[in-house]
Structure 1
């Protein structure tokens, strides 16, 4: 408690001193430089090809241009999201095809194995955590409809900025802003997606409506979308397995954001997003034969027991206040937020007497963030960002018949932090920061349920009375980064950052064999990330790259013991690199490509063994071209490929979870949009345009006949949008 009090006192003291020491006559220009609104930054920063220079908020919790961020960041603009959305509405597909270092899409409602640089990623909506680190359900990437996105910010590598769960980095979905130019504007969209291989039963449709505008001091954006996906088929026309499948989904999304400007320096904003995605299908899974290329798991007509699987609801709401010059030149942001989330997976015999698991998570949080500029001389200036995060997260897993699988884990998280940005002249930026994590988790008394051993079919465990208790974790995380921006052709950076997470506590509790919580093998994961990177531009060529190395004394890998998944706690080392480049062949033609490579090992009984496919994805190659034959017409083509990965030998003739070899494959997608009369747009997208026959990455490394599913065959998406 003394540490927390001292830390809070120190950063409020820094705020006061900063406000007092800056001479008023010198703060105006520095204030303009460091606290411009996002809109003014966007309007001021132009690149040679008339695209807006990218800005980022998530990396430092303060608006900055990427040149001042000493870490690897990928920004997906609204335009890039729309290019991908014309091909697929699944966010796992969109991010997997665009973010170097992020794993391949799963083509499922679940993003299991879609790690970022070999570690779990923290997903947020406007800073509201979507991930459930207490029990990882791996459905956080697909937590809202992509049509409400303004952009996506992906911060790679362990980060000390946002705390629990960001071992591999974070994905922050930034929702749409209002149109400030009109009292009312908006758009109406309708479209359909269907397979071109045996299209019968595959046609889905979607409709959406958006309103936006500004009336006096109020601004707003309100939207709604409904989608039915239809069946998905592979390249031979077979229905894909419905388990975690994209087949026959009914998707709803409702979004609203309303803001009020008291004056130029004070604003309050409320946001709400509702997402629902459930599966309404007449198909059940028919197991394939793992290892046989012509025997995939498919969907066949049948009755599915239990409730429809999916996400019955995901509610997110926030109330935020932004104030400039609150104390001297200090800016302040205060945000209250709320999330209520429920997800269901398929009914099965995994639990004794069968059952259908549901994981529920309720979060209530508060973020206080302040930013104070300083100027020591004409050559040394910067700002200090500091604040406090409070979070209550209550998560449990139960069966729909009310049997308890994982008890209600009640986590309270208090984390003060500060980040200091130092500018030494116009070209050298040094950033350092600390975050103090204080986590308390209360677990009630509970009794374990027997779970099935998939090796021999028997049920193990169960009936163990576990006495609850309190678990306390404290960790001080540090980060530092240096970037030099003098040369446009080469802007290097180096960085070090730490992360903290309580890795899937629920899985440990589910398999507890001790009779008290404090006797279980529960330990936090602290990861260290070292990185060297660069970006640059030369004439019509722009490029960037990074080399990284990540370590943790206690990892969090899934292993199967007695036929059931458990957490292996052993030292881990992960390393890799990413390269990307873009070149303007002609004012009408851009080409680009990126390459991601990740490798990782953990220590086991004195030996170093490779991490499995659930953590380490195979090399990913993405290449694309954008062709603009007319000002109103754009064509986008993309290739996604892997060279495969084969690291393990079968045991007794069989591969275990995570060890299956991944064979190489290459797919091509195409999207095109044409706008006529300025406000009417027709879009066309084709997924897997050459109808490649292949197994998804996750289907290969899972090494399980029931999950041995192929990728989509050729699938078309066509839509019409009318703006007003």
Structure 2
């Protein structure tokens, strides 16, 4: 059945493309030139990096958003190796090559290294995005967290002259009046000599979500994260840039507020999860944050080009209230010895981060002509607290200082070889405060039912701890012809595990005994270092672009979360895979392509140093993913696009089986008046199917099966954009 749907979808896309062929007028393709990859930190272009690099232009993102997709959904469709979006405002299980992704905005991480909810892709308005850079594989170029790669969102700055832009987007699911959603984005930019200014305002309001069967999707299908329905989001942005001679200044300030009004609880026992008739009793899901970053560049110092960036972020995040049950087996009680859930057992996370980066790009001519050395210093500080609504700590308040030094050499050898090598040494000083884990209850699966076990409050002694990591990379690019490159390399990344999550789950050797104390030193995790080997090839002409790669990544301290037992463990693991990107431009105004990826992995499940078990589905929810697409622009101002998106799900021994999914998305635009009318449909055929990524997040302890979440059904969107 699924294969039939896939073939019919491909046939549809082929017919769509064939119709485009008949409209060709003989336009010639053109070269967009080399784009400097800011996420590389070296000033290098894509072709000089010995690894898989992808640049997604803002226009490509806008086309998919205009058809009713989310930003996380759009990225998962066009970035091979990125797991399908889970359909919520969070990023749970949306891994990159089976590992964590470091999400940056203009080179700055907005999520704390110590505790994160990973909502960044839901909190930025896509209309503010200039492009998105993706560097695959473990890397430490921006420090901790990029064991699977980096996603760097580059925001827009003021162009030439003066311009005001208004974007409106409306969407709904056919037949459901309460599904109506709308977005409004306003920007104004002005260039005054050396100074550029850009202001941004946006508001979005989403209605209820429905699956392909017409059933309402639960407002909180993933335990506390919220799916984004009935959500209001406001953003405010300001960007300024100034340049004179060798001096450049860039500044950006962002503030946002998101609130989801949940109206009913979720029934996690049905397949798929569904809404109940019980009114929600908690407070709304919220996310409020501000950030600012300032960058100064001097392009002609005696040592080369100097870049200094300072940043600060301040974020408050509230999770939803979740009833005790199969998906919330560790909850806070309303007093000592009782197993009744505290009605105010809803948590709020407070994080503040500061950072300073000093980067110098110096000539390295004494090695070879045109060689460069990028070196510098990164300083950072994180402060984290997580509390119940009454102010009770649910994890140990923490602060962490970090200092890192790094050096990266780019050395051309002759006309065809480019060698890249670097090292980064980082030291973390972590301060964990003493705290008392509140009275809690653990639901244990016994004989096909749950038995509640009261866990008395537990004192956790903090302390001062140090983590350190020295990681490196080395690789080469060989230009066989002006159009064909081969690359290969070894790179390392590291991750400081979620220490707060370990303290929140603190349990003593005798969990039911009162008045006990344990030390954080006995439960804190080890820092994880990931090694990645990768080989690949790139082929680029004016009309054809190909990028194929294969990779292997290993770690001795991989982190596994078992939702059935609510525990985190670390062990050896190995992940491997391959990716292919292809794009053919038939004419300037017509292109077609494909994105294909394979990812699989195993780990040491029993600690015997034998990597013999398959990684859980919350690390790799889909083994194979593929997207086929085409875009066509006509002379009358009409553009059309279409794509078929496939995800295989996963079927491995010892793990729940996740089925495959197929979606067809179509869209287009038409020049109308002084602006552009945008339109589109996501999940064109209204497929009723299970979202593999959302369904990989939790496992029912009673059945050992996945808690399945339906995918969103057909959504119709229309919008209008005008600049003046």
Distance 1:116 1:158 in 2: 10
| 1:78-100 C-alpha deviation (Å, 9 max, x unpaired) | 11111111123622112111111
Match of 2:179 among 189, 202, 205: 202
Distance 1:132 1:694 in 2: 34
Equivalent residues of 1:287, 1:706 under 8 A apart: no
Q: Counterparts in 2 of 1:376-455, with a 5 A limit?
A: 376=366, 380-449=369-438, 450-453=440-443, 455=445
Equivalent residues of 2:396, 2:462 under 8 A apart: no
The Cα of 1:567 is off from its aligned counterpart by 1.7
Match of 1:692 among 657, 663, 687: 687
Distance 2:83 2:636 in 1: 34
Match of 1:551 among 551, 554, 564: 554
More displaced, 699-708 or 448-457?
699-708
Match of 1:66 among 36, 46, 49: 46
Match of 1:610 among 599, 606, 614: 614
| 1:466-520 C-alpha deviation (Å, 9 max, x unpaired) | 1110110111111111001241453110111111111111111112246112222
The Cα of 1:192 is off from its aligned counterpart by 1.1
1:509 aligns with 2:503: yes
Residue segments in structure 1 that go unaligned for 5+ positions in a row: 1-46, 291-295, 650-658
In structure 2, the partner of 1:601 is 602
Distance 1:594 1:202 in 2: 31
Q: Counterparts in 2 of 1:646-661, with a 5 A limit?
A: 646-649=651-654, 659-661=655-657
1:670 aligns with 2:666: yes
In structure 2, the partner of 1:272 is 253
More displaced, 457-466 or 639-648?
457-466
Change in 2 beyond 3 A, CA 1:215/1:545: same
The Cα of 1:668 is off from its aligned counterpart by 0.6
Equivalent residues of 2:296, 2:309 under 8 A apart: yes
**TM-score normalised to the size of structure 2?**
0.87
Q: Counterparts in 2 of 1:484-495, with a 5 A limit?
A: 484-495=478-489
Q: Over aligned residues, Cα RMSD in angstroms?
A: 2.1
Distance 1:460 1:530 in 2: 47
Distance 1:642 1:529 in 2: 24
1:324 aligns with 2:324: no
Q: Counterparts in 2 of 1:129-528, with a 5 A limit?
A: 129-179=109-159, 181-182=160-161, 184-196=162-174, 198-243=175-220, 244-261=226-243, 263-290=244-271, 296-300=272-276, 302-311=278-287, 313-328=288-303, 330-348=304-322, 349=324, 350-353=331-334, 354=342, 355-376=345-366, 380-449=369-438, 450-453=440-443, 455=445, 456-459=450-453, 461-513=455-507, 515-528=518-531
In structure 2, the partner of 1:535 is 538
Distance 1:393 1:710 in 2: 37
Equivalent residues of 2:68, 2:715 under 8 A apart: no
The Cα of 1:302 is off from its aligned counterpart by 4.7
The Cα of 1:521 is off from its aligned counterpart by 4.0
Change in 2 beyond 3 A, CA 1:505/1:298: same
Equivalent residues of 1:387, 1:416 under 8 A apart: yes
Distance 2:486 2:75 in 1: 26
Distance 2:454 2:489 in 1: 46
**TM-score normalised to the size of structure 1?**
0.87
The Cα of 1:586 is off from its aligned counterpart by 4.6
Q: Counterparts in 2 of 1:634-653, with a 5 A limit?
A: 634-649=639-654
The Cα of 1:359 is off from its aligned counterpart by 1.8
More displaced, 340-349 or 660-669?
340-349
Equivalent residues of 2:374, 2:408 under 8 A apart: yes
Q: Counterparts in 2 of 1:85-100, with a 5 A limit?
A: 85-88=65-68, 90-100=70-80
Q: Counterparts in 2 of 1:113-132, with a 5 A limit?
A: 113-132=93-112
Distance 2:456 2:534 in 1: 45
Equivalent residues of 1:548, 1:577 under 8 A apart: yes
Q: Which has the higher contact order (CA 8 A, sep 6+)?
A: 2
Change in 2 beyond 3 A, CA 1:454/1:104: farther
Secondary structure of the residue aligned to 2:63 is: helix
Equivalent residues of 2:28, 2:587 under 8 A apart: no
More displaced, 468-477 or 604-613?
604-613
Equivalent residues of 2:30, 2:542 under 8 A apart: no
Secondary structure of the residue aligned to 1:142 is: helix
The Cα of 1:385 is off from its aligned counterpart by 0.6
Equivalent residues of 2:169, 2:719 under 8 A apart: yes
The Cα of 1:233 is off from its aligned counterpart by 0.9
Residue segments in structure 2 that go unaligned for 5+ positions in a row: 1-26, 221-225, 325-330, 335-341, 509-517
Distance 1:566 1:140 in 2: 25
Distance 1:481 1:138 in 2: 31
In structure 1, the partner of 2:720 is 720
Task: Give the number of aligned pairs.
Answer: 654
Change in 2 beyond 3 A, CA 1:141/1:70: same
In structure 2, the partner of 1:579 is 580
In structure 1, the partner of 2:511 is none
Distance 1:176 1:287 in 2: 41
Equivalent residues of 1:109, 1:310 under 8 A apart: no
The Cα of 1:627 is off from its aligned counterpart by 1.5
Distance 1:423 1:567 in 2: 45
